[in-house]
């Protein structure tokens, strides 16, 4: 039984302020600056219930728990000045966290899943070391007030420094700290946590970090490991080591090669498999079905050396008729840079036709880079990445195996990504020969607290569909950014955006807003191309700046029955210098803060709004 991830996602409490009228001359076409119920309350409830991924776990936000000792909640203040730099609050889901600083500080959370929980994922931050590189520390876990175990935490894969002059891990090189959090999965010692029982995180004397910042806890009842399918070849039989003692790269690849030639599938039994061979060719699963025992049971771990050669790649390649399922991929990467000194690389890199990814969990990788035709990623997770969570693209190449056609990304969960959580990206290339990405579907996904970029990014393409997704608490950029990427990005010919719930956005990175719609820049290959966007039945709430921002050059947008709720800035803002049309019908802007307006059109002579 899967559950919607809803607990605590509202984050900052809803504040009601008097709504302001549209500015004189803006007409307010299609915008009702009231608390009127359009879409009606029932429709909003339906939209909210449908948005986001169905997951086997339930997330409980730390700030909803009971505090003990000197524990305190830290949060961004609704309607306050927009943040100008990264912060622990800004990178927390719901823009709120619990701080445990002194011995005896506690936060207690209920198991409200309705069933036993035998695993937890604690999302937390502890300080960096004085010289960079992180520290290790424990935090004690109690169940119903009885000590169970010490939770091992680390900041070794957190605390990067944007703009550092030496490397991104150096706190003394002039950079700005960000990427504060990490996720820590654990099996619960002893009996599972029963429904209605409490989970307590406590800073005891043995817990030596100066401060513990707790964002959330996932509770899940993980079933037994899967068993080997019929007509499959086990990697262990070919020398792979599930005990994490010797390198298993060659053994896994040899098994895949044998299965491909024999028309069989590959089985990776429970265990943790070391894949640190310095081969220039990554694992290639093309044409084969590869299954693990479950994402909590089978892990491929990349222990990349500190200074890999330029030929070293640790990604996994999936090609025509490949299937990868029930597996976790983790790495020792410490900063972004494909096969660079930070040890990062793609999770999976797809091409060809008819590939499938199902129930995969990537951690500490770069993007899952999704090219090809008729591909599908579903029921998967990504966390703590150094790049996009899931990026649909044309491979930035005219290669016919990497067209970016009719790829679907549905029912996936992304948290703490180092770029867009979900993206579709159409690149023309320097000579304009790359084809247009078409038919991307981003459906029923959840994006939580990306530490860089956007929750969802639509960057060029045609027949793009973004439907029933949930975005919660974007730190730096927008909850959703719709337009074109870079000077070689292809135009956005058509995108339909429906039924999404977009919370927050408009963070510290420049003047990004809650949701942004734009077109190619004047220096691009397509300087006069229009972005054509239809948005209906979306709920935009709690933006840290304007709720919806229409920006840059040429935009045609149709807005129907959308709700913009309590933005810190304007409800809808059309920037100066925009040419195009806005067809606005049945939209609502409500709960504006004092002095803000429902609609502001700074291009009244060139951007015509009708309703």
What number of H helices and E strands is found in the chain?
2, 53
Task: Quote the pLDDT of residue 247.
Answer: 94
Spatial distance between the Cα atoms of 585 and 133, rounded to a whole number of angstroms = 53
Q: What is the mean pLDDT of the chain?
A: 93
Task: Quote the pLDDT of residue 588.
Answer: 96
In the chain, pLDDT over 90 holds for what percent of residues?
88
pLDDT tier for residue 23 given thresholds of 50, 70 and 90: very low
Mean pLDDT along residues 574-599: 97
pLDDT tier for residue 8 given thresholds of 50, 70 and 90: very low
pLDDT tier for residue 39 given thresholds of 50, 70 and 90: very low
Residues 6+ apart with CB under 8 A from 1: none
Task: Quote the pLDDT of residue 33.
Answer: 52
Tell me the helix, strand and coil percentages in the chain, rounded to 5. Answer: 5, 40, 55
All domains of the chain in start order, with CATH: 57-220 (2.60.120.260), 310-610 (2.160.20.10)
pLDDT tier for residue 17 given thresholds of 50, 70 and 90: very low
Task: Quote the pLDDT of residue 6.
Answer: 33
pLDDT digits (tens, 9 = 90+) for 343-353: 899 999 999 99
CB 237 within 8 A of CB 267: no
pLDDT digits (tens, 9 = 90+) for 500-539: 999 999 999 988 899 999 999 999 999 999 999 999 999 9
Burial pattern 573-607, b for ≥16 Cβ within 10 A else e, equals: bbbeebbbebbbebbbbbbbbeebbbbbbebeeeb
267 pLDDT above the threshold of 80: yes
Spatial distance between the Cα atoms of 112 and 148, rounded to a whole number of angstroms = 19
Task: Quote the pLDDT of residue 307.
Answer: 73
pLDDT digits (tens, 9 = 90+) for 362-376: 999 999 999 999 999
Task: Quote the pLDDT of residue 20.
Answer: 38
4 pLDDT above the threshold of 90: no
Give all strands (DSSP E) within 271-339, no chain letters. Answer: 271-274, 283-284, 289-292, 298-302, 316-318, 323-331
- Neighbouring CB atoms inside 10 A of 31's CB total 27
pLDDT digits (tens, 9 = 90+) for 120-129: 999 999 999 9
Mean pLDDT along residues 90-113: 98
Q: Can you tell me which residue has the tokens 């084809």? A: 435
Beta bridge partners of 272: 243, 299
Beta bridge partners of 413: 381, 446
Task: Quote the pLDDT of residue 104.
Answer: 98
Q: Phi first, then psi: what are they for 317, rounded to 5°?
A: -95, 130
24 pLDDT above the threshold of 50: no
pLDDT digits (tens, 9 = 90+) for 156-187: 999 999 999 999 999 999 999 999 999 999 99
Spatial distance between the Cα atoms of 516 and 450, rounded to a whole number of angstroms = 16
pLDDT digits (tens, 9 = 90+) for 387-416: 999 999 999 999 999 999 999 999 999 999
Give all strands (DSSP E) within 22-130, no chain letters. Answer: 31-32, 54-55, 57-61, 66-68, 72-75, 96-100, 106-110, 119-125
Mean pLDDT lowest for which of 442-446, 465-469, 518-522?
Answer: 518-522
- Neighbouring CB atoms inside 10 A of 309's CB total 9
Helix (H, G, I), strand (E, B) or coil at 140: strand
pLDDT tier for residue 42 given thresholds of 50, 70 and 90: confident
pLDDT tier for residue 12 given thresholds of 50, 70 and 90: very low
């Amino acid at each position: 039984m899967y559950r919607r991830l809803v607990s605590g996602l509202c984050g900052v409490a809803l504040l009601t302020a008097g709504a302001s009228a549209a500015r004189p001359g803006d007409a307010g076409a299609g915008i009702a600056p009231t608390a009127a119920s359009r879409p009606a309350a029932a429709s909003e409830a339906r939209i909210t219930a449908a948005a986001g991924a169905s997951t086997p776990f339930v997330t409980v936000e730390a700030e909803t728990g009971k505090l003990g000792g000197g524990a305190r909640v830290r949060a961004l203040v609704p309607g306050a000045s927009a943040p100008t730099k990264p912060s622990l609050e800004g990178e927390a889901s719901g823009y709120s966290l619990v701080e445990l600083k002194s011995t005896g500080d506690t936060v207690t959370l209920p198991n409200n899943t309705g069933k036993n929980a035998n695993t937890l994922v604690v999302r937390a931050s502890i300080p960096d070391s004085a010289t960079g590189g992180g520290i290790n520390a424990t935090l004690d876990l109690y169940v119903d007030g009885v000590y169970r175990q010490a939770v091992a935490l680390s900041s070794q894969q957190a605390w990067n420094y944007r703009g550092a002059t030496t490397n991104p891990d150096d706190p003394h090189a002039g950079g700005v700290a960000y990427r504060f959090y990490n996720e820590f999965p654990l099996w619960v010692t002893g009996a599972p946590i029963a429904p209605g029982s409490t989970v307590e995180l406590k800073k005891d004397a043995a817990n030596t970090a100066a401060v513990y910042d707790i964002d959330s806890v996932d509770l899940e009842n993980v079933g037994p490991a899967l068993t080997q399918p019929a007509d499959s070849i086990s990697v262990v039989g070919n020398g792979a080591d599930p005990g994490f003692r010797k390198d298993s790269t060659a053994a896994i690849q040899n098994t895949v090669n044998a299965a491909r030639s024999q028309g069989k599938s590959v089985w990776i039994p429970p265990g943790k498999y070391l894949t640190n061979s310095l081969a220039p060719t990554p694992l290639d699963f093309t044409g084969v079905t590869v299954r693990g025992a479950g994402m909590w049971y089978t892990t491929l771990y990349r222990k990349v050396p500190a200074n890999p050669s330029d030929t070293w790649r640790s990604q996994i390649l999936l090609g025509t008729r490949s299937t990868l399922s029930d597996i976790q991929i983790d790495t020792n990467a410490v900063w972004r840079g494909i096969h660079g000194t930070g040890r990062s690389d793609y999770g999976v890199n797809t091409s060809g036709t008819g590939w499938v990814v199902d129930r995969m969990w990537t951690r500490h990788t770069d993007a899952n880079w999704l090219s090809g035709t008729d591909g599908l990623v579903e029921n998967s997770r990504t966390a703590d990445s150094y790049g996009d969570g899931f990026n649909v693209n044309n491979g930035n190449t005219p290669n016919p195996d990497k067209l970016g056609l009719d790829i679907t990304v549905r029912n996936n969960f992304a948290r703490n990504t180092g770029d867009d959580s979900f993206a579709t990206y159409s690149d023309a290339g320097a000579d304009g020969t790359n084809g247009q990405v078409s038919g991307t579907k981003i459906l029923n996904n959840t994006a939580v607290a990306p530490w860089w970029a956007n929750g969802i990014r639509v960057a060029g393409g045609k027949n793009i569909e973004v439907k029933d997704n949930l975005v919660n608490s974007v730190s730096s950029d927008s909850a959703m950014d719709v337009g074109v990427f870079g000077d070689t990005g292809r135009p956005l010919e058509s995108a339909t955006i429906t039924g999404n719930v977009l919370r927050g956005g408009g963070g510290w990175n420049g003047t990004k807003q809650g949701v942004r719609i734009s077109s190619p820049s004047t220096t691009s290959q397509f300087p006069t191309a229009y972005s054509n966007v239809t948005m209906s039945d979306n709920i935009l709430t709690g933006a840290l700046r304007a709720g919806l921002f229409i920006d840059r050059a040429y935009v045609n947008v149709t807005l129907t029955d959308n709700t913009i709720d309590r933005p810190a800035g304007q409800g809808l803002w059309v920037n100066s210098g925009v040419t195009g049309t806005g067809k606005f019908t049945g939209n609502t802007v409500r709960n504006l803060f004092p002095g803000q307006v429902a609609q502001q059109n700074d291009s009244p002579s060139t951007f015509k709004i009708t309703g």
